[in-house]
Structure 1
Amino acid sequence: MVARRNVTAWFAVMAALAAVANCTGNSEDSGRSGSPGQPRANRDAHQGGPAADHREQARKRGRLIGDGSTSDTGPQPGQLSPRRLKPGEKPPQFVVFSWDGAGQDGQKLFSRFRAVGKKYGATMTYFLSGVYMLPTEKRDLYDPPRHSRGASSIGFNDVKGVKDTVEQLAAAWREGNEIGTHFNGHFCGPDDGVGTWSPGEWIDETRQAVSFVRHWKTNTGLRNGEPLPFDYGKELVGGRAPCLEGQENLIAAAKKMGFRYDASSVGGRQVWPKKIRGIWDFPLQEIPVPGKSYETLSMDYNFLANQSGTTDGDSSKHATWGKQMRDGLLAAFDRAYDGNRAPLFIGNHFESWNGGTYMRAVEDAIKEICPRKGVRCVSFKQLADWLDAQDPGVLRRLRKLDVGERPKGGWADFLAAEPASTHSALPARRERG
């Protein structure tokens, strides 16, 4: 998560940020085998008493899973019904706003941006850090790859923080937003960071993250809390790696875990996405920095790295820095909207860095972008659904367009139906919609 010109300095900055981060999370089930969707059942998942009565009530609303921390309430509401583009039809302008380490703390940024999304018709992707579901006193349940048991670069949570985060996750899912993963301990750098992990270690890390979600009641003692209305092991189809490191082995793990996309690429361009070994690659993209000759990644942290290099820089510049990020996001949007219509990917953190100026910038961008004609502010999962519904030949043509490039002759000509081949005696194969 570093601006292109600041790559060598980023690890030092990130280490300083990790030292001052005030994060949350925790869970049980620390065995290290099995797939992400199949954590070991907790031994006390079927105890009686008040919790059993509560489980019986919840059962009427959906099938409870494990210790009752999650439930299956059916298909997620608020999802798109993707269809193929018609010949000559201009593609929608997709924009994905995503959040790393999603959790609710005293800043209440999760609830704030849920409300923003509802107001402006945007669904988003919230990448949950699994340790935000684990209280500090249960930290030893986390056994991270290549680190000591109970270690985490972003800390853990407290019981109230877990409860508040669960409430936000449940509401966000019901509103049509995606709950992805930011994995757990946020270990970065060349020495035992996620960039050094094997595919098996990524699978282990992800399995633990799912387990922390599936056992938050046991791990907090909040037996009477409302269960999450979804099975995380089934809903989870993608994530973003800490520090945007380790994608090669993460992709190998993602295929085995049934993921459909990965959002861990660094330095992507604003062109139509492609798959890497069957997994959609949704990178943070290089976007303009107004007033500068260089571009930076489409994330709040990268604007910070170029502007102040610290989370609490000169307060007299906060408004200027926020405006620069807002204008950069809008410039990137306009470049795609009026050009190749490539999806725009914007990443953020629930942090009040530099006086909260980046949060205001993102909110302003959502307000400006999402109500525009032909724009769909969606989650990564919804975008993957739409892309998978398209004619592969249409996607190949879209990928030929460069950053900001309008199709010559207009969209009607560029995406016109291709004539059937006259060189084959075989009948044309009908594609399934």
Structure 2
Amino acid sequence: MLTAEKPPEATSSASPENTQAIVNVGAFLETMQLTEVKEADKRGPIEPAETNIPMEKLKKGQKPPQFVIFSFDGGAGHTNWQRFLDAAEVHDARFTTFLTGLYLLGDRAEEKAVYDGPGHAPGVASIGYGGPRPQILTQVDDLNEAYSRGHEIGTHYNGHFCAGHEPSGDDWTTADWDSELEQFFAMMRGWKQMNGYPDDVDDLRVPPEAVRGGRTPCLEGQWDELVPAWKAHGLTYDSSIPSPSPGISWPERKDGIWEFAMPFAYSPAFGMTTVMDYNFWVSYNGGVSQPETAPEVRAKVRETYDYLFEQTYDGNRAPLLVAGHFNRWNGDSFNPPTADFMKEVCGEPDTYCATYQDVIAWMELQDPAVLEEILAQPPVADQRPSR
């Protein structure tokens, strides 16, 4: 089952008049040099907090720590940014947000036309844009705050073209993914110019080179087409490809890319399912909004995470991927139990709620023979337990 993401909530607030001409992505790439953009970044990039993982080599046969990797697709919504920043503070947890580039662009027609999705007309997207200027500036503040605390920013690309809105990710060539990534990074560098904002607006101080991985919309994309685009843009990991076999396993390094496959695992509440909030919803009632069921769904989500943590912690210690979205689906069924789980599980012994990049750094620190033994462990939660 594929994932999906809905646009940000509509707002009736009007966008203030811009004081500069809007620059589209193509013009930005042709005329703006990175050094020129950085002249406006008077405070410079943020230095993030240090890793929360003890960077120590294991001895052969020693049990690895239990990593839990929380990630959120899209990254729009101040309420959920604050919810998870607060939850992470309880036990120095870290999480990853895969930013949708369009959330840095306004939603007036001339602002939307800045984006040129591969195979689609300029301004067309399957997801909403960033909204009026105050909403975008709050988004930038949230990104800066999260990055300063050691949380990771990755890419969720831009247009969110999935099956039904072809050409979608499964149809795209390497050239298409190159275009999508070029535009994503151009938005990070030039969002103020693209929106026509004045230079004295606060900068996005997350350096583009800090983005080293991401998740494709709806988990779409062909591996052989994606890898060259990832490498061309300095990406070293991905968390999009559906797991080739059931259960929760350690990541695999393939073609120079660390793939944290999206697990298809057993949940006592939802059965065999892709471990992501939207898929839980589909497993529950087909993705139909029934806000009155929120208390029941929240309990099932928490039961699922508790079970999967128990299976990995007592089993292969594979990183547990807790993948979701900043949303209020089904009466806010998914993020409250996720935040509660973060507040509790990250305080468990020998457990570290960490970013993808920090887990990769830990793995690459290990002696190759030790790491090979760890990665080769069989999956857990790969089937319904026998009675």
State the TM bucket, normalised to the shorter chain: 0.7 to 0.9
Structure 2: segments with no counterpart, 5+ residues = 12-21, 382-387
The residue correspondences of 1:262-411 to structure 2 (distance < 5 A) are 262-267=238-243, 269-291=247-269, 294-310=271-287, 312-313=289-290, 315-404=291-380
| Distance (whole Å) between structure 2 residues aligned to residue 66 and residue 201 of structure 1 | 31
Where does residue 158 of structure 2 map in the other structure? 184
Residues 39 and 210, structure 1, Cα contact 8 Å, conserved in 2: no
SS at match of 2:104: coil
SS at match of 1:346: strand
**Deviation readout 1:74-104 (Å, 9 max, x if unpaired):** x432225633223343201011000000023
Residues 240 and 262, structure 2, Cα contact 8 Å, conserved in 1: yes
Shift of 1:39: 4.1
Could you tell which deviates more after superposition, 207-216 or 142-151?
207-216
The residue correspondences of 1:67-106 to structure 2 (distance < 5 A) are 67-68=40-41, 71-73=44-46, 75-79=47-51, 80=53, 82-105=55-78
Where does residue 127 of structure 1 map in the other structure? 98
Residues 68 and 217, structure 1, Cα contact 8 Å, conserved in 2: no
Structure 1: segments with no counterpart, 5+ residues = 3-9, 33-37, 47-63, 406-433
Match 1:254 to one of 230, 240, 257 = 230
Shift of 1:347: 0.7
Counterpart amino acid of 1:68? D
| Distance (whole Å) between structure 2 residues aligned to residue 340 and residue 41 of structure 1 | 51
Match 2:9 to one of 19, 22, 25 = 22
| Distance (whole Å) between structure 2 residues aligned to residue 175 and residue 193 of structure 1 | 35
| Distance (whole Å) between structure 1 residues aligned to residue 91 and residue 265 of structure 2 | 23
SS at match of 2:44: strand
Counterpart amino acid of 2:320? L
| Distance (whole Å) between structure 2 residues aligned to residue 123 and residue 393 of structure 1 | 28
Shift of 1:254: 0.9
The residue correspondences of 1:159-238 to structure 2 (distance < 5 A) are 159-189=133-163, 191-220=166-195, 221-232=197-208, 234-238=209-213
Shift of 1:197: 0.7
Superposition CA RMSD, Å: 2.6
Residues 242 and 261, structure 2, Cα contact 8 Å, conserved in 1: yes
Shift of 1:41: 4.8
| Distance (whole Å) between structure 1 residues aligned to residue 216 and residue 376 of structure 2 | 28
CA 1:29/1:316 → structure 2, altered by over 3 Å: closer, same or farther? closer
| Distance (whole Å) between structure 2 residues aligned to residue 402 and residue 168 of structure 1 | 39
- Which structure's CA Rg is the greater one? 1
Could you tell which deviates more after superposition, 265-274 or 279-288?
265-274
| Distance (whole Å) between structure 1 residues aligned to residue 288 and residue 8 of structure 2 | 10
Shift of 1:395: 2.0
TM-score (norm: length of structure 2): 0.86
Could you tell which deviates more after superposition, 91-100 or 320-329?
320-329
Counterpart amino acid of 2:172? W
Number of aligned residue pairs: 362
TM-score (norm: length of structure 1): 0.77
Shift of 1:223: 2.7
Where does residue 409 of structure 1 map in the other structure? none
SS at match of 1:296: strand
| Distance (whole Å) between structure 1 residues aligned to residue 43 and residue 229 of structure 2 | 24
**Deviation readout 1:197-235 (Å, 9 max, x if unpaired):** 111211110111111121222234143222233321x11
**Deviation readout 1:268-290 (Å, 9 max, x if unpaired):** 63111111211000122123322
| Distance (whole Å) between structure 2 residues aligned to residue 323 and residue 285 of structure 1 | 21
Counterpart amino acid of 1:145? P
| Distance (whole Å) between structure 1 residues aligned to residue 49 and residue 230 of structure 2 | 25
Counterpart amino acid of 2:104? M
Overall identity of the aligned pairs, in %: 31
SS at match of 1:327: helix
Shift of 1:308: 2.3
CA 1:81/1:152 → structure 2, altered by over 3 Å: closer, same or farther? same
Residues 326 and 365, structure 1, Cα contact 8 Å, conserved in 2: yes
**Deviation readout 1:293-350 (Å, 9 max, x if unpaired):** x31111110111111223522x342211111111111111110000111111111111
| Distance (whole Å) between structure 1 residues aligned to residue 153 and residue 45 of structure 2 | 15
| Distance (whole Å) between structure 2 residues aligned to residue 291 and residue 130 of structure 1 | 34
Shift of 1:72: 2.9
Residues 65 and 231, structure 1, Cα contact 8 Å, conserved in 2: no
Where does residue 142 of structure 1 map in the other structure? 115
CA 1:255/1:152 → structure 2, altered by over 3 Å: closer, same or farther? same
